[in-house]
Each structure stands twice: as structure tokens, then as C-alpha cells.
A = this chain, B = another copy of it.
Amino acid sequence: MATVASLGETDLIRRVIAPLLKAGASSNKPAGWKLRQGIGDDAAVLSPPAGRDLLFASDMLVEGVHFRRNVLPAKWIGWKALARNISDIAAMGGRPAAAVVSLGAPGGTDARLIRGIYQGLASCARYFRMAIVGGDTTKAAAIVVDVSILGDVASGKAVLRSGVRPGDALFVTGSLGNSYASGRHARFVPRVAEAQAVLRRLPIHGMIDLSDGLASGLRLLSQASRVRLSVDLAAVPLARGARSVEQAMNEGEDFELLFAVSGRLAGRVPRMIGRVPIMRIGQAARGQGVRCLDDRGKAVPLPGRGFEHFSARERS
């Protein structure tokens, strides 16, 4: 197959990208959504269901920062680019509905690599029954995949970071750490179904997805809700291969959910949803900041700082 420069933008879209996305776009939509015009016009035209709020977010993946093309297979680059956005919708208690994809790539890029990325995007969209309805392609010095997502949630029912209350119990889905070495940083399944399953049983007061690590998630949730969060370090669920609770709390890219429910109703949260464990790891109280408790209940410093996007070294 040719390079993207020899194909040109028109043929790259027509021959490589559009065929992968069009089939799925016409069939995959959550209940109540209609796709009136997909790829091929100046904008996509969608008809959303009445009585739902829209969720809108974007997330950019950059070669050499979030992945290396010789390490991560192209289809997992595509999967990760969309799954990160779906995770943001899950964290609001919503359903993903539609996405647009902007792709930058050097002119010399093999079109097979681009096809692989869009195969990954399309397969993630199919898995979540959502549609990729448009986007943009352009020349760039390195591969950049920026996805914007549109989701929905019952009117007034979006779960914000700011709703945690003193007395709430804190839970985390799945297990944390070792996401890079295990490949889970790319091959993860965002916790849409798990959040929906909890919401069918009881209200969630506050929620965030753990893209930059549990330590960072706790800090952001505490700041937004103006509460003090305490975490039992011994309860933090470590993923297979995680070296330490410090790694589990700071490596990032777990894409699990951290959420708070009323302490009184905490018993209604199931211990497993499908094959995903839901672990109680702490509680909220009046005050501010994040407090870690060791296995004797003694306060210890929060391990590490979470992931900083502009200063960190490159990742695999």
C-alpha cells in the first residue's frame, strides 16, 4: 500500500478511512439517536433523543508521548484514542453516542498504519454501539489522533466531580498499576456498563476516571467537592504485576472509575459487576486534602504526585 502523501487526502478518506467508518455509523447508535448525515459533508447531522443532556469532551493522543508506533500496534492506538474519550463519558454516568476523529500524520506514513488506527477506532465504536461520524485529516510531524465525543445522560443527572459529601464511601472499579508493562493502558474497556449498573442500584454523588492515577483522581475529587478524602492503602486493589501501592496510585492510564456514594447506602454497591471487582477504598469527611491510612489506621503521606503531561519522559 502507498504512503498517505502519494494517496492524497481525498483518496485516503475515500479508500481507507470512510469504508471502515461508514458501515458502523449507520447501525451503531444508542436508543433515541438518529444519524441524518455521516462522513462526507462539512459536518455530521445528528438528531438526539428528547429529555437528555449532552456530554461533550475531547482527548488527544500524540506519538512519542502517549505511544510509540513501533511498540503499540496501530489498531490499539485507535482503540485507545476512542476508549479514553468513552471513559470520560462513563465518568459522568453517561452513554457514548458519537465521535469525530482528527488525524495528523507525516506524509511518508504507510497508509496501512492509518488503516490500522481506524480499524481500532471502528472496533471500539462497534463494541460500545456508538458511531464515528466525521473528522479531519492533515499533515503533521508525528502521528496525532484527537477524538471528540458526544454522549448523553438523563436530563440533570450527570455525575459531577463536585458532588461528594462528608460521610460518603469511596469505591474504585477494577485494579490499578502496571498499565504500561501489561499493555492495559491501550487495551482497556472503559467502565460504561459498570457505572450504569451502580446507578441502577443507588445514586452516585461524585465520580472521576483515573487517567492520571488514583492519587491525582483523589486530589481532584477532593478539591472539586471541598471534602477530605481518606484512603486505606491496604484496600487499594493492585493489578497483576503492579510493583507497589505507590506505582498503583501514580502510574496512571488505568481508566478505572473512582466514585462516592452515601455511606448509609454503600452496602448496595455490588462487590463484582460481571468480572470487574468494585472495591471500597475509603471515605469522605469534612475538611480538605487527601489522607492515606496504613494498615494500622495511621495517617501517612500520599505516595507520589500523579502524572504530569508536559514534564514527563516519553512513554511506550
Contact = CB atoms under 8 A, between A and B. Distances in A.
A139 B65 contact: yes
Contacts of A234: none
A310 B4 contact: yes
A45 B136 contact: no
A100 B56 contact: yes
Copies of this chain, complex-wide, total 2
B136 A60 contact: yes
Interface stretch (A67-75, A156-164, A179-187, A288-296): A156-164
Interface in A6-56: 6-10, 12, 36-37, 40-48, 50, 53-56
Contacts of A46: 53-56
Chain B CB count within 10 A is highest, among A10, A66, A148, A158, for A148
Contact of A45 (B54, B104, B140, B144): B54
A142 B140 contact: yes
A242 to B, nearest CB: 24
Interface of A: 4-10, 12, 36-37, 40-48, 50, 53-60, 62, 64-66, 87-89, 91-92, 94, 98, 100-105, 107, 133-142, 144, 146, 148-151, 153, 155-156, 158, 160-162, 207-209, 224, 308-312
